[in-house]
Structure 1
C-alpha cells in the first residue's frame, strides 16, 4: 500500500482510505457484522485512514470505528465531520457552543481524547469566509480536543476560500473521472498551501463500478433513490451530480479503457492516484470483498498517458457541460 502525507497534518496515510458513509446509513440496509469485517479487511491490507461523520447513521458509523479501534492494536487515523446535525443547517449555527458540543459527541462516539481530524461538513458557502469560525477551531486545537482540522466542500470556489485560513490542513472534495474541475482549478493552490486533498465520492456513487444498470433497484432509504435532484442535500453527492443515464454511458465508454484483470472501479481509483496532490481517495465498502478490491487498486501500475487522455475525452464529450459550471 502506498502512503502519502496528508498536508500539514503530517499524517502518513494510505493512498486508498475507507469511506464510512455507507456503513452508517442512507445507502440502504446495513449489516454491522459485514461492516466490521470490511473494516478489518481494509486494515489487513494496509489501509490506515478512515473517514466518517457524526451524522452517518446518527453516530453509528463513528461507533463502529470505536469498536474497530478496540479490536485492533495497530494505529490508524480517523477523520470525522461536524455541522450537518444543525437543523436548520445555517451559518449562524457554526458557533462556539455548537461546535464544541459536536466535538464532544464525536469524542464520545469514537472513544478518544482528541479527534485526529475534524472537518466542517459542507457548511453554507458563507461559512468558509468567516474568520471567527476558524478561530474557534484553532482554539479547540490549542485546548487539545482536536489534533487538526479541515473542511469538506461542495465546490472548487469554497475550497479556494477555505484554504486562505492558515489552520485548514485538509480539503475533502468530490474528485473522480466524472469531476475534473478540482484538478484544473484547485490542486495547484492546495499544493502551494500544503493542504491535503481527500477525494470523496471516488466511484460516483457506484456508477464508476460498472455494475449499475438502467433498472438497478435502490432501497427507499438509499440516497441514490431519493436525492438524484438534490431533494435532501447537494445533488453533487449523488452520482457526482451526473444524470444517471449519461453516467451509465460514460461508464460504458470508460470500461473500454480498463485492462484485463482489472475492474472499472479499480481503474477509476488508480486514475485518481495519478494526481500527486491527492493524499487519499476514500471509496466506501460494506463487505470484505469490496474493501479488498478498493485497497488493491493502489498496487496497480500507473495509467498511461493515452489512458489519461481518453478519460478526459469522455469527460469533455459527455460530462463537462453538465457538471463543470456547477461545482
Structure 2
C-alpha cells in the first residue's frame, strides 16, 4: 500500500481508505462475520484510514468498528462525523426518517461524547461536521470543535460537503485537515472550486462514493437491489439515466480490461492521478472488493488513458443527478 500525508501533518494514511457505511446502512443487509473479516483484512494489506459516522446504522457502524479498535487502536486512523439528527428519533437518514442538521456548539459536545462511547476510544483521530448547519455560523461550529482538540477528545477537524467560502471561513478559525465530498467520474463539480482550494490550503480532499455508489464497477443490477437499498431512490438509477449509465459502465469496463485493470481500479486510479492531496474512501463489506480497490494505489494512468476516459464520458452525458432534491438541501454550495 502506498501512503499520502494528511494535510500539513506528518500522519501517513493509506492512499485508498475504507468507507464503512455499507456495513451498517444504506446498501441492504450485511453479515457481521464478513464485515469483521473485511476490517481485519484491511489492516493486513495496509488500509489504515477508516471512515464512519454516528448516523450509519444509528450508531451501529461505530459500535462495529469498536470491536477492532479495542485490539488494533494504534493501527487505525479513525474518522467519524456528526451533525445529522432525526426528528423524534425515528427511522434513519437513509429511509423513513425526517432528518435535519444540527452543528450547534451544544450538540457538538453531545455528539462527540456519544461517538467516543460507541467507539470505545479516548480520542477520535478525525472529526467531521457531516454537513453544514444553515442556522449556525460555521465559525461557531468550528470553535466548538476546536475546543475538543484542546481537550484531547479529537486530533484533527474536517468538513463534509462544504462550499469553498465555508472552508475559508472555517480554516480562519482552526486548521481543517480534510474536506470530504462526493467525487467520481460522474460527479465532478468539486473540480471547480473546492478541489483547487484544498490544494491551496494544504487540506486533504477525501472523495466518498468514488465509484459512483458502485455504478462504475459494472456490477450493479438495479432490478436486484433490495427495497432497503438507498440507491433505488436516486435519479441515476432510474429510467433514461439508468439506461445511459448502464451503457457507460459497460463500455468503461471494456476500456479497463484493455488496460489490465478492473473498472473499479481504473476509476480509482483516475481519481488518484488528479492530485497528491486526494485520498478516496471506496466503501465495501467484502474482502474481494477491498483487495481489488487497494491495488489501485499502485496503478498509473498515461495522458492517453485519461483522454480515452474523457472521450468515453462525453458519449454518455445523461448521467442524472447524484441526489434527489431532499438530499441536495443538505449540500452546502
Band the TM-score falls in, shorter-chain normalisation: 0.7 to 0.9
Aligned mates of 1:185, 1:243 — CA distance in 2: 26
Aligned mates of 2:85, 2:319 — CA distance in 1: 33
Of the candidates 200, 203, 209, which is equivalent to residue 195 of structure 1? 203
Aligned to 1:273: 272
Aligned mates of 1:110, 1:139 — CA distance in 2: 20
Instruction: Identify unmatched segments of 5+ residues in structure 2.
Output: 88-97, 323-327
Aligned to 1:262: 261
Aligned to 2:131: 122
1:222 deviation in Å? 1.0
**8 Å contact 1:272–1:278 — kept in the other structure?**
no
TM value normalised by structure 1: 0.86
**What's the CA shift string for 1:199-245, capped at 9, x where partnerless?**
110111111111124x54111111012x214xxxxxxxx77xx9322
**8 Å contact 2:138–2:166 — kept in the other structure?**
no
Instruction: Identify unmatched segments of 5+ residues in structure 1.
Output: 230-237
1:111 deviation in Å? 1.1
- Distance change (3 Å), C-alpha of 1:321 and 1:66: closer
Aligned mates of 1:23, 1:159 — CA distance in 2: 31
Aligned mates of 1:105, 1:9 — CA distance in 2: 27
**8 Å contact 1:20–1:284 — kept in the other structure?**
yes
Bigger relative contact order (CA 8 A; separation at least 6): 1
1:101 to 2:110 alignment:
yes
1:313 to 2:311 alignment:
yes
Aligned to 2:77: 77
1:246 to 2:234 alignment:
no
TM value normalised by structure 2: 0.85
Aligned mates of 1:319, 1:124 — CA distance in 2: 32
Of the candidates 213, 218, 229, which is equivalent to residue 225 of structure 2? 218
Aligned to 1:133: 141
**Count of paired positions:** 308
Aligned mates of 1:74, 1:170 — CA distance in 2: 20
1:179 to 2:187 alignment:
yes
The alignment's C-alpha RMSD in Å is 2.4
**What's the CA shift string for 1:7-36, capped at 9, x where partnerless?**
135421001010001001121111110001
**What's the CA shift string for 1:73-130, capped at 9, x where partnerless?**
6522000010112436445x32122111110011011111111111111234565x53
**8 Å contact 2:43–2:75 — kept in the other structure?**
no
Aligned mates of 1:86, 1:149 — CA distance in 2: 23
- Distance change (3 Å), C-alpha of 1:25 and 1:85: same
Aligned mates of 1:320, 1:164 — CA distance in 2: 35
Of the candidates 288, 293, 304, which is equivalent to residue 302 of structure 2? 304
